[in-house]
Amino acid sequence: MADVSVRPASVNDVTELARIQLDTWRLAYQTVLPAEILQSLSQADIAISWHGAVTSPPTLNHHVLVAMEGEHRVGFSAFGPDADRQPQDPEPDTTAAISMLLVEPRWGRRGHGSRLLAAVADLARAAGANRLVAWVPVADTASLQFYRSAGWDADGLRRDLDTGVGIVTELRLHTSLTDSEETPR
């Protein structure tokens, strides 16, 4: 069995997080994001963003986690308190949001995404969250299927993001951290 784990990200992970995001988006998001957007992405710019997220998170409840297989960084997740509260949210003060959960496709189907999701749920719950949400592009069928297989469901909200060269429609998915039937494992 492979040595697998999830751990907090450090400044030493930033370059690899940027590479994973860029490579994964360019491969897996070809039908999600306009080609102009994918081609305009810069690994250096992405690394600057991850450096800030890792070294200066906005709150103590913002986290970046790294999935490992042996010595390889194979995926990561970022989450924190929900900054995009909606008027109809049932528990706005105890809702955490996943802003990104990516596993590099070549490392897929090995449980890394599930381990990241479970670690996010554990840390969010420990910080007092009762609910998790994530906005997922409608065209990202792999991510939608992943979240749904973990017990998440759409909560009825949709949004359109204007990329400047096209619209990306997203669904908001959610799960309860208090109801054992819906708790991600």
Task: Note the pLDDT of residue 10.
Answer: 98
Task: Note the pLDDT of residue 1.
Answer: 53
Task: Note the pLDDT of residue 73.
Answer: 97
CA distances for 63 relative to 24, 78, 156, 174, angstroms: 20, 6, 27, 18
Which residues contact residue 71 at a Cβ distance below 8 angstroms, ignoring those fewer than 6 apart? none
pTM: 0.91
Say how far apart CA 131 and CA 26 lie, in whole Å: 31
pLDDT in tens, 76-129: 999 999 998 888 888 888 999 999 999 998 887 888 999 999 999 999 999 999
Domains belonging to the chain, first-starting first, are 4-176 (3.40.630.30)
Q: Evaluate if residue 57 carries a pLDDT over 50.
A: yes
Say how far apart CA 178 and CA 128 lie, in whole Å: 10
List the beta bridge partners of residue 176: 131
Task: Note the pLDDT of residue 109.
Answer: 81
- Among 83, 75, 84, 80, CA closest to 57: 80
